[in-house]
Amino acid sequence: MISTTDDAAAPLTDAGEFLAEYTAWLWGCGATCIRIEKNVGRIAAAWGLHCDLTVMPRQVSVVLSRPGAQGAGQMFTAKIKPCGINFDINSNLSRLSWNIADRAITVERAGDLLEGVVTRHYRVTPAELLLVGLANASFCRLFGGDAAAMLTVLVATLAGYFIKGMMLRNGADVRVTFFMCAFISSALAYGATLFGWGATPDVALATSVLYLIPGVPYINAASDLIGRHYLCAFSRFADACVLTACLSAGLCLGIRLLGIEWF
């Protein structure tokens, strides 16, 4: 709980609705529970309010009250926003919490700023696309792939990552997205085998889907476990396992449909 006293305290209802929505987006974009507690507590303190926060796998609850007003708190809830891991939203929401605390931003203005942040999700820039492709090609080299395999992985990653952003931007289920992207990337990586490019086409195929590995959910699960948010930790771990299974299924389907011999 974070408390403070402030003569210019924010309206309780407006502040509660904002904080519930803010928390739902912060969880949805991949923030840990510890980060959520710090950000929400920072905003509540800046507005002169007590804040008790409960984060669950499907919804969040925010209880607000004014300092010294025992038993007069109000609860506000919001459903988690299933927007997938997005570092752009995550960093901008954290920056918003600091701006509210440092610049004394009102609840109304904070709501406008929040709307501006969350409406920009799933914006894949050319620089981001290229960097992801180069990073995955580097993994190919790390596992012993030659230049032809690296080029194949680069093309497969560029196509898969672009389709991933397009599907998520249009509201596709993240599990279906992972499955489709893994299938497309593995099908494109088969080009190294089909046309006889290089001496390591198997490495190109195996590393073509590494950009889909849900490392952040696994890390967040460990962080929430350390922070004693056990339900959230289990939920994140289960989601990460499901996404891993989806990308594995897409890869296996690509292998089977293209008639590739199993490793």
Q: Which two tokens stand for residue 206?
A: 């195996």
pLDDT level of residue 122 (50, 70, 90 thresholds): low
By CB neighbour count within 10 A (0-12 exposed, 13-18 middle, 19+ buried), where does 203 fall? buried
Say how many residues make up the chain. Answer: 263
CA 117, 93, 58, 217 torsion-angle sign? positive
CA 102 – CA 217 distance, rounded (Å): 31
Angle at 88 between CA 209 and CA 224, to 5 degrees: 75
- For the segment 159-188, the average pLDDT, to the nearest whole number, is 91
Residue 258 has pLDDT above 90, yes or no: no
Q: Which two tokens stand for residue 135?
A: 């990073």
Q: What is the pLDDT of residue 224?
A: 93
pLDDT level of residue 69 (50, 70, 90 thresholds): low
pLDDT level of residue 2 (50, 70, 90 thresholds): very low
Q: Which residues make Cβ contacts (< 8 Å) with residue 233, sequence separation at least 6?
A: 221, 222, 223, 224, 225
pLDDT level of residue 88 (50, 70, 90 thresholds): confident
- 163 touches 180 (CB < 8 A): yes
CA 217 – CA 30 distance, rounded (Å): 7
Nearest CA-CA partner of 186 in 201, 165, 197: 201
* Per-residue b or e along 133-171, where b marks 16 or more CB atoms closer than 10 Å to that residue's CB: beebbebbbebebbebbbbbbbbbbbbbbbbbbebbeee
Residue 263 has pLDDT above 60, yes or no: no
Give tens-digit pLDDT for 193-238: 777 788 888 899 889 999 999 999 999 999 999 999 999 999 999 9
Q: What is the pLDDT of residue 8?
A: 43
Q: What is the pLDDT of residue 244?
A: 95
Q: Which residues make Cβ contacts (< 8 Å) with residue 103, sequence separation at least 6?
A: none
pLDDT level of residue 1 (50, 70, 90 thresholds): very low
Angle, helices 215-226 vs 230-257, to 10°: value is: 160
Label the pairing between strands 59-65 and 50-55: antiparallel
Amino acid letter for position 7:
D
Q: What is the pLDDT of residue 260?
A: 64
pLDDT level of residue 147 (50, 70, 90 thresholds): very high
Q: Which residues make Cβ contacts (< 8 Å) with residue 86, sequence separation at least 6?
A: 29, 30, 121, 122
